[in-house]
Amino acid sequence: MDDIFDAKKFSGTLGVEIRNKDLFQEAVTHRSFLNEHRGYKLEHNERLEFLGDAVLELVVTDFLYRNYPNPEGDLTSFRASIVNGEILAEIAGNLSLGDFLLMSKGEAKDMGRARMWLLANAIEAVIGAVYLDQGYDAARVFIEKNIVSELPRVIAAGLHTDPKSRFQELSQEKTGITPSYRVLKEWGPDHDRRFTSGVFLGDHLVAEGEGASKQEAQRNAAAAGIKAKGWA
């Protein structure tokens, strides 16, 4: 099992000097991998993800406070836009994080939205590993270089606006119909619940979105609806 994780290559990919190899290997270990490898010596990455999520939010919040004179409401929207699953998964993809993920054979075959969430969770776990391995300043540098740097693009594209409000505004303007939302699917254990919601115009399903809460799933459905309608 010692050859399943190339710490030297991972270090080069992240641009981070790895001191504790086990921390970073754990950061890319999905829960499903343990089910197929009972003798695996490390834990899955959910605890590191929990820690990394908090570090990420603090770094982004601090950066916004220091660099953007906007009111609190704007700052909250900016932060939400840069720490959401789709953006984090995109950044994880740019870092080739998927090449290092340790997961079950079934998870490895899934290249859809489930893979996106797996990547987003993994980059949060990596942030947690950087924080534990080298401290807050190293984590801040990593986050500002790889995540905060995307803020200007995200803001310029209007991705910081609430997609539900935007979709409702556009649908009423263009169709005269107020959108509605329905939960289409719900799965997972209580500590890791997932939802798929659909956004409808009348009885017509426009798009679907997935999230860790019904609200997040609705926001993602609305964002997908704007794209599906060509209203972006």
The band of 162, judged by pLDDT with boundaries at 50, 70 and 90, is: confident
For residue 166, the tally of other CB atoms under 10 A from its CB is 17
Per-residue pLDDT, 111: 61
The verdict on residue 2 lying in a domain is no
Element (H, E) at 53: helix 46-67
Q: Tell me if residue 124 is catalytic.
A: yes
Active site residue 53: yes
pLDDT at position 30: 93
Closest CA to 219 of 167, 155, 174: 167
Pick the catalytic residue: 86, 124, 210, 216?
124
| pLDDT value of position 116 | 82
What confidence tens digit (pLDDT) does each residue in 2-14 have? 578 999 999 999 9
The pair phi, psi for residue 198, each rounded to 5°, is: -110, 145
Counting the structural domains of the chain, the total is 2
Q: What pLDDT, in 10s, does the model give residues 25-70?
A: 999 999 999 988 888 999 999 999 999 999 999 999 999 999 999 9
Which of these is catalytic: 26, 49, 53, 208?
Answer: 53
Instruction: Give residue-wise pLDDT tens across range 86-116.
Output: 889 999 999 999 999 998 887 776 666 677 8
Residue 33 lies in a domain: yes
Is residue 132 located within the same domain as residue 198?
A: no
Expressed as residue numbers, the domain containing 213 is 163-228
Residue 168 sits in the same domain as residue 124: no
The answer to whether the CB of 123 falls within 8 A of the CB of 54 is no
- The model's pTM: 0.74
Which of 156, 183, 207 is the C-terminal boundary of a domain? 156
Same domain? For 130 and 204 the reply is no
Claim to verify: residue 130 and residue 20 sit in the same structural domain = yes
Q: Are residues 11 and 97 in the same domain?
A: yes
Specify whether 84 is located in the same domain as 167.
Answer: no
- The tokens for 230 are 């060509």
| Shared domain check, 88 and 24 | yes
CATH number of 170's domain: 3.30.160.20
